């Protein structure tokens, strides 16, 4: 991996503390950082290098998945870091930063490769990008890269304007747009699992698949982010980015050995093949919800409008479910149902592929159920296949087994480790490319417009549920239902061994 300087804007912030330092530390422990490497942390706070390092060390103790108990390793890791005071609006601060970066490159013999990581609010992205260009920081003989956090715009037009601004300072190949769902190990493996299991490849089409369900449910509410979330909602916060990226990764038919350009084209194809959603159809294809009071894991919680900082008359969406269709030879006629929400019954991100049932009469006579292929993405990870098998009671009756493998969340590497590693290597396969972002906003725009005009009912759902009833009706209209809503806890409790094995019959539907 090339030697480089990692310039971190927002080094004193929450994301850096919770995700970036622990990820860098775990990469360091795995020998995945360059041998010659330097991190310059930036913020307005008047911190010394020592204060900065002490904060990083605290963050490792609190948030690293691996213990930071080896003092020698921690000290070696901390030796990469220095702090520099910078206010993003002040031109002169970029000049002193440039001097510091160049001095480091000279004294430590670091090749002039520079990675600029923008872990700051989106309102600062454009200012920083243009100052990087004007100050000469981006004018280097080595490579330069810009890593940016979400959100990338708040609608189609603002995303286009923002991209046009960034493009003045960085080329598309130099921009790494983080979507942390693309860093989740199971998402990164979707491609490999398809390639290495011919049985999946053979059945990966509309001849065998009845529908696909993608769920990201959360038990947390708005937390301390009322100011941001009440202007974002589930549609902007999760659906436009993470959920549509999951769709692209699943439906993209990404063969082995694809480089980032091919991955990008395949994902773009998925978005281009999505049947456009017409404004007049939003109310029938999309369910908008907002949580009211209820209980999560036995504890009472308040409704959305009673959360601190949320206005009593807020119409913001904390839940969305939508039906989508991909118009290509593989997926034509298969409905994709996508849903995400806060304050739901369980924390789980999973994809369920429901296969077509055999002839109805045979199915009914034998008590069989559709085969399911389940990708458990987070917090636990696994892949399961649900099959019909011989029942115990009567000769003809069938029962169901889940075959699969399972890892609990603590064994799974953090998304940020994968993403930072890829950005350091210059591999943008698992980042959101501009075409995808633009097409996602384009698909979502009629929903934004319909929400803004209040043309879509806002369904209340109790905290601790699986969302509004209308989300069930969305599938019921097509003769389907969401899998695992009733007994998903039982499902995860029963499939626990790490190695592939035939499990006890499950009591799921
Ligand atoms: N926190 C999270 O879990 C997640 C965050 N994100 C995204 O990451 C980004 C950062 O979020 P987060 O860390 O939570 O935000 P915080 O508010 O915790 O941190 C903001 C950072 O920006 C710096 N900053 C603010 N204004 C200026 C300025 N004028 N000049 C220089 N530095 C400034 C602050 O430093 P100082 O105060 O020292 O100036 C601080 O380091 C956002 O885009 C967010 O959407 C994405 C996913 C999850
Ligand atoms: O980007 C975001 O993601 C989190 C959910 O991420 P996960 O990895 O825990 O599934 C969500 O809580 C947050 O609102 C959103 O901004």
pLDDT score for 394:
61
Which parts are annotated binding residues for substrate? 180, 184, 218, 237, 342, 347
Confidence of residue 502 (pLDDT cuts 50, 70, 90): very low
Going from the Cα of 280 to the center of ligand 1, the distance in angstroms, rounded, reads 38
Confidence of residue 501 (pLDDT cuts 50, 70, 90): very low
Q: Return d(Cα 467, Cα 399) in angstroms, integer.
A: 29
Q: What is the DSSP string of 132-166?
A: HHHHTTT--SS-EEEEEPSP--SSHHHHHHHHHHH
Going from the Cα of 422 to the center of ligand 2, the distance in angstroms, rounded, reads 21
Q: Please state the three-class secondary structure of 162-203 as a single string.
A: HHHHHHHHCCHHHEEECCHHHHCHHHHHHHHHHHHCHHHHHH
Alpha helices by DSSP H, listed for 30-124, are: 49-63, 71-78, 91-107
* Ligand 2 atom closest to residue 220's alpha carbon, by position in its atom list: 12
Q: What pTM was estimated for this model as a whole?
A: 0.92
Residues 482, 215 contacting (CB under 8 angstroms): yes
Q: What is the DSSP string of 284-338?
A: HHEEEEEEESEEETTEEE--GGGSTT--TT----SEEEEEEEB-STTTTT-EEEE
Report pLDDT digits (tens) over 265-294: 999 999 999 999 999 999 999 999 999 999
For ligand 1, atom 3, name the residue with the nearest CA: 15
**Residue 504 predicted with pLDDT over 90:** no
- Which ligand neighbours the alpha carbon of 122 most closely? 1
* Ligand 2 atom closest to residue 378's alpha carbon, by position in its atom list: 10
Q: Return d(Cα 144, Cα 115) in angstroms, integer.
A: 6
- Which ligand neighbours the alpha carbon of 245 most closely? 2
For ligand 2, atom 16, name the residue with the nearest CA: 237
For residue 395, report the phi and psi dihedrals to the nearest 5 degrees. Answer: -60, -40
Going from the Cα of 371 to the center of ligand 1, the distance in angstroms, rounded, reads 45
ipTM for the whole complex: 0.97
3-class DSSP assignment, residue 39: strand
pLDDT score for 256:
63
- Which ligand neighbours the alpha carbon of 14 most closely? 1
CB burial string 408-419: b at 16+ within 10 A, e below:
eeeebbbbbbbb
For residue 275, which of 480, 439, 159, 471 has the smallest C-alpha distance? 439
Whether 218 lines ligand 2, by a CB cut-off of 6 Å, is yes
Report pLDDT digits (tens) over 284-323: 999 999 999 999 999 999 999 999 999 999 999 999 999 9
Report pLDDT digits (tens) over 129-157: 999 999 999 999 999 999 999 889 999 99
Going from the Cα of 481 to the center of ligand 1, the distance in angstroms, rounded, reads 40
Q: Return d(Cα 299, Cα 12) in angstroms, integer.
A: 33
* Ligand 2 atom closest to residue 415's alpha carbon, by position in its atom list: 8
- Mean pLDDT, to the nearest integer, of 192-221? 91
Which parts are annotated binding residues? 10-17, 44, 150, 180, 184, 218, 237, 342, 347
Q: Return d(Cα 357, Cα 465) in angstroms, integer.
A: 28
For ligand 1, atom 2, name the residue with the nearest CA: 15
**Residue 354 predicted with pLDDT over 80:** yes
Confidence of residue 257 (pLDDT cuts 50, 70, 90): low
Q: Which residues are catalytic?
A: 242
Of 160-164, 232-236, 367-371, 493-497, the poorest mean pLDDT is in 493-497
Going from the Cα of 106 to the center of ligand 2, the distance in angstroms, rounded, reads 40
Going from the Cα of 121 to the center of ligand 1, the distance in angstroms, rounded, reads 5
For ligand 2, atom 8, name the residue with the nearest CA: 181
pLDDT score for 491:
46
More confident site: 408 or 28: 28
Report pLDDT digits (tens) over 61-99: 999 988 888 899 999 999 999 999 999 999 999 999 999
Mutate to test the pocket of ligand 1, among 8, 11, 23, 44 (most ligand atoms within 8 A of CB): 44
Q: Return d(Cα 331, Cα 343) in angstroms, integer.
A: 32
Residues 283, 456 contacting (CB under 8 angstroms): yes
* Ligand 2 atom closest to residue 181's alpha carbon, by position in its atom list: 8
Mutate to test the pocket of ligand 2, among 152, 218, 228, 349 (most ligand atoms within 8 A of CB): 218
For ligand 2, atom 13, name the residue with the nearest CA: 237
- CB neighbours of residue 190 within 10 Å: 19
């Amino acid at each position: 991996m090339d030697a480089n300087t990692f310039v971190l804007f927002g080094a004193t912030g929450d994301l850096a503390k919770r995700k970036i330092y622990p990820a860098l530390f775990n990469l360091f422990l795995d020998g995945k950082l360059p041998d010659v490497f330097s991190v310059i942390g930036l913020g307005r706070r008047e911190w010394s290098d020592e204060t900065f390092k002490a904060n990083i060390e605290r963050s490792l103790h609190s948030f690293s998945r691996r213990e930071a108990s080896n003092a020698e390793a921690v000290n070696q890791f901390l030796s990469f870091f220095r702090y520099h005071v910078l206010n993003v609006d002040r031109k002169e601060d970029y000049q002193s930063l440039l001097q510091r970066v160049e001095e480091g490159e000279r004294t430590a013999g670091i090749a002039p490769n520079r990675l600029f990581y923008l872990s700051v609010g989106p309102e600062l992205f454009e200012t920083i990008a243009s100052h990087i260009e004007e100050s000469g920081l981006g004018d280097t003989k080595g490579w330069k890269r810009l890593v940016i956090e979400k959100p990338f715009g708040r609608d189609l037009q603002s995303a286009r304007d923002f991209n046009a601004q960034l493009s003045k300072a960085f080329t598309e190949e130099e921009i790494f747009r983080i979507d942390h769902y693309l860093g989740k190990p199971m998402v990164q493996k979707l491609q490999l699992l398809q390639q290495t299991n011919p049985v999946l490849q053979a059945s990966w089409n509309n001849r065998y698949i009845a529908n696909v369900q993608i769920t990201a449910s959360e038990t947390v509410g708005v937390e301390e982010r009322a100011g941001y979330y009440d202007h974002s909602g589930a549609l902007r916060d999760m659906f436009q980015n993470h959920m549509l990226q999951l769709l692209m990764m699943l439906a993209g038919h990404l063969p082995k050995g694809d480089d980032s350009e091919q991955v990008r084209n395949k994902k773009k194809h998925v978005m281009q093949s999505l049947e456009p959603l017409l404004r007049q159809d939003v109310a029938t294809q999309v369910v908008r919800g907002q949580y009211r009071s209820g209980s999560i894991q036995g504890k009472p919680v308040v409704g959305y409008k009673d959360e601190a900082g949320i206005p009593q008359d807020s119409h913001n969406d904390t839940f969305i479910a939508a039906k989508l269709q991909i118009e290509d030879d593989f997926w034509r006629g298969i409905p994709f149902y996508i849903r995400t929400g806060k304050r739901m019954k369980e924390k789980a991100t999973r994809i369920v592929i429901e296969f077509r049932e055999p002839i109805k009469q045979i199915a009914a006579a034998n008590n069989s159920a559709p085969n399911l292929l389940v990708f458990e993405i987070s917090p636990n990870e696994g892949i399961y296949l649900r099959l019909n098998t011989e029942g115990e009671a009567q000769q003809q009756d069938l029962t169901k087994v889940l075959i699969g493998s399972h890892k609990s969340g603590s064994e799974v590497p953090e998304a940020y480790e994968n993403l930072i590693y890829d950005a350091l290597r210059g591999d943008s396969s698992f980042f959101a490319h501009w075409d995808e972002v633009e097409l996602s906003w384009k698909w979502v725009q009629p929903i934004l417009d319909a929400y803004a005009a209040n043309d879509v009912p806002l369904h209340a759902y109790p905290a601790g549920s699986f969302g509004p009833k209308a989300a069930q009706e969305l599938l019921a209209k097509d003769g389907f239902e969401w899998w695992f809503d009733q007994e998903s806890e039982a499902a995860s409790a029963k499939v626990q061994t790490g190695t592939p094995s035939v499990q006890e019959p499950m009591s799921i539907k």
